[in-house]
Amino acid sequence: MAVDMEMNSAGSAEKEIQGRSLWQDAFRRLLTNKASVVSCIILLSIVVIAVAGPWVHPHPFDEVYWDYIQAAPDMEAGFYFGTDTNGRDLFVRTLYGIRVSMLVGLVATGVSLIIGVTYGAISGYIGGRTDHIMMRFVDIMYSMPFMFFVILLMVIFGRNIFLIFAALGAVEWLTMARIVRGQALSIKNREFVEAARASGVSNFNIIRRHIIPNALGPVIVYVTLTIPQVILIESFLSFLGLGVQEPMTSLGVLISEGAQQMESAPWTLLFPASALAIILFCFNFIGDGLRDALDPRDR
């Protein structure tokens, strides 16, 4: 929290007892959850390998090796995951796929987080008619057929990775807004918010200082569950041929291509699919751990 930092850094000349915040408590509880900690470590290693790997690896992602068309994994030639039907190194292409999928997941979730939290907190805190209007708008957005929406965007603006960010963000923030609104509705009637109102704190500061930090627990959990969801939707779009464009790739594209060669070259499906599965598992375990850590009443 920015507020925490501001206050804690001030005037620590005398000996002050440092309290333990609810966030720190939750973090300690998270560390006791083995599945989450292991998932965190695996996920971090995957990210490091995906980011640094292509620099170190001898084969570029878009070069065609005519001698190695659809070759099985070969350690000596440096094709750890084999090659695809066009003779490109599958290992480095999988790393690129992870990069793109993670980026889509993080950016789209980030967009949905910012829009959803702001929208939901304002709607829930102000309440009354404003709340009704804002939430009916969300309902209308919900009822739009998502695939149709994406295809329409693609037709109008052409295929573009930023469009995927925008499209996914535009859909994912709706649920976020509903979650935050529900939290805001219950928090705004708590006595500490009344105390803040009574001492003349502005609505903006009440939302920023009291509503959002207290609504953040369920939001963080939802974020860790949204990232894999977004990665899946992106893979699905790529599978349908609406995602990223060749020679750039994503896990969805790789899986789609691998599925066609499933019988003659199983490794083209196996490696990207396992990468996706591991990433999704990790996010889900982290999400689970966070939920337990942030809301100890449930255990």
Partner 1 sequence: MSMSQEVLLDVKDLKVHFSIPSGKLFKKPGLLKAVDGVSFQVKAGETLGVVGESGCGKSTLGRAVLRLLKPTDGQVAWFGQEMGGMKPEELRNVRSDLQVIFQDPLASLDPRMTIGQIIGEPLITHYPKLSKAEVKEKVKAMMAKVGLLPEQVNRYPHEFSGGQCQRIGIARAMILEPKLIVCDEAVSALDVSIQAQIVNLLMGLQKEFGLSLIFISHNLSIVRHISHRIMVLYLGRMMEVADRDAIYAKPLHPYTKALISAVPIPDPEIERNKEHVALKGDLPSPLNPPSGCVFRTRCPFAKDICAAEVPALKSFAGGREAACHFIEE
CA-nearest of 184, 210, 180, 183 to 195 is: 210
- What Cα–Cα distance (Å) separates residue 57 from each residue in 28, 63, 73, 102, 288? 38, 13, 15, 20, 35
Closest approach of partner 1 to the CB of residue 208, in Å: 12
Residue 128 touches partner 1, criterion: CB under 8 A: no
**CA 4 distance to own-chain centroid:** 25
> By rule CB under 8 A, what string of x and - marks binding of each residue 214-253 to partner 1?
x---------------------------------------
CA-nearest of 103, 102, 116, 111 to 216 is: 116
99 vs 188, beta carbon nearer partner 1: 188
Residue 277 touches partner 1, criterion: CB under 8 A: no
> Of 5-13, 51-59, 63-71, 271-279, which part binds partner 1 (CB under 8 A)?
5-13
> By rule CB under 8 A, what string of x and - marks binding of each residue 183-202 to partner 1?
-------xxx-xxxxxxxxx
Residue 129 touches partner 1, criterion: CB under 8 A: no
Residue 11 touches partner 1, criterion: CB under 8 A: yes
| The only residue of 93, 188, 210, 291 in contact with partner 1, by rule CB under 8 A | 210
Coil, helix or strand at residue 83:
strand
**Interface with partner 1: number of residues (CB under 8 A):** 36
Q: How far apart are CA 89 and CA 84, in angstroms?
A: 7
Residue 72 touches partner 1, criterion: CB under 8 A: no
Which long-range CB contacts under 8 A does 265-269 form with residues at least 24 apart?
265/70, 265/72, 265/82, 265/84, 265/85, 267/72, 267/73, 267/81, 267/82, 267/90, 268/70, 268/82, 268/84, 268/85, 268/90
Q: How far apart are CA 45 and CA 144, in angstroms?
A: 38
Residue 5 touches partner 1, criterion: CB under 8 A: no
- Is the Cα torsion angle 242, 247, 252, 256 positive or negative in sign? positive
Closest approach of partner 1 to the CB of residue 18, in Å: 5
| The only residue of 32, 160, 186, 205 in contact with partner 1, by rule CB under 8 A | 205
Q: Judge contact between 90 and 84, C-beta under 8 A.
A: yes
Closest approach of partner 1 to the CB of residue 191, in Å: 4
67 vs 299, beta carbon nearer partner 1: 299
Residue 18 touches partner 1, criterion: CB under 8 A: yes
16 vs 76, beta carbon nearer partner 1: 16
> Of 2-10, 28-36, 50-58, 76-84, which part binds partner 1 (CB under 8 A)?
2-10
Binding site for partner 1 (CB under 8 A): 1, 3-4, 6-11, 14-23, 190-192, 194-202, 205, 209-210, 213-214
